[in-house]
Amino acid sequence: KAGVTQTPRYLIKTRGQQVTLSCSPISGHRSVSWYQQTPGQGLQFLFEYFSETQRNKGNFPGRFSGRQFSNSRSEMNVSTLELGDSALYLCASRAGGSSYNEQFFGPGTRLTVL
Amino acid sequence: QKEVEQNSGPLSVPEGAIASLNCTYSDRGSQSFFWYRQYSGKSPELIMFIYSNGDKEDGRFTAQLNKASQYVSLLIRDSQPSDSATYLCAVSIYGGSQGNLIFGKGTKLSVKP
């Protein structure tokens, strides 16, 4: 079974621009969660989508948004980029029917904001 | 503020020794607990999860959970240089109903040949 895929793998943007990241979950998985990883803050939850609906959201500004399509693929958008948005953005896939919330991560998108 | 705490390390052990990684969490209602391994420049990889008090073994790995003490640990037996990585402890407060995991900042493990 193919794993979680994310595109692009690397991205360089300048302040004020916007960016869209894409995630395809494991086949059959209906939930996609997004996380931001930085050296200072570690891994922090951004939001989760399940069956095209945002299920919950972490403590990030409204510049961070996402959506999920009917095939469970998800996109994350960051508008008006700031230097502090430089990070590794990870998406995680889970089946959604599990009681235990085990999640499987994609390879990540490394975003650099100049 | 729901928190997960780990000693940042580095934890250095000789090859063949037992590595012991520890994690404490603040929310007493936490339901399931995960250990991820992250190699430098790579994404986290799920090693194992545990949800009931006691020990859970998988190969060279044993996870231990003590909900009364709000404490989770991971033991790695017969440590190998390939085990050198950062180990992330994660907690799910809502079980399977919501996807947000709360992560500790990780413990860096170095296994010396």
Mean pLDDT in consecutive groups of 10 residues from the start of chain A, 114 residues: 92 98 94 95 94 91 97 97 98 79 93 98
Distance CA B103, CA B37 (A): 12
Contact A66, A56 (CB under 8 A): no
Helix (H, G, I), strand (E, B) or coil at A49: strand
| B101 contacts A101? CB cut-off 8 A | yes
Digitized pLDDT (tens) for each residue of chain B, 113 residues in all:
789 999 888 999 999 999 999 999 999 988 899 999 999 999 999 999 999 999 999 999 999 999 999 999 999 999 999 999 999 999 988 766 677 899 999 999 999 99
Q: Which two tokens stand for residue B64?
A: 């231990």
Q: How far is B94 from chain A (nearest CA, A)?
A: 8
Q: Which pLDDT tens digit goes with each residue over A30-40? A: 999 999 999 99
Give the nearest chain A residue to B107 (CA atoms).
A42
Please state, as a whole number, how many other Cβ atoms lie within 10 Å of the Cβ of residue B106: 24
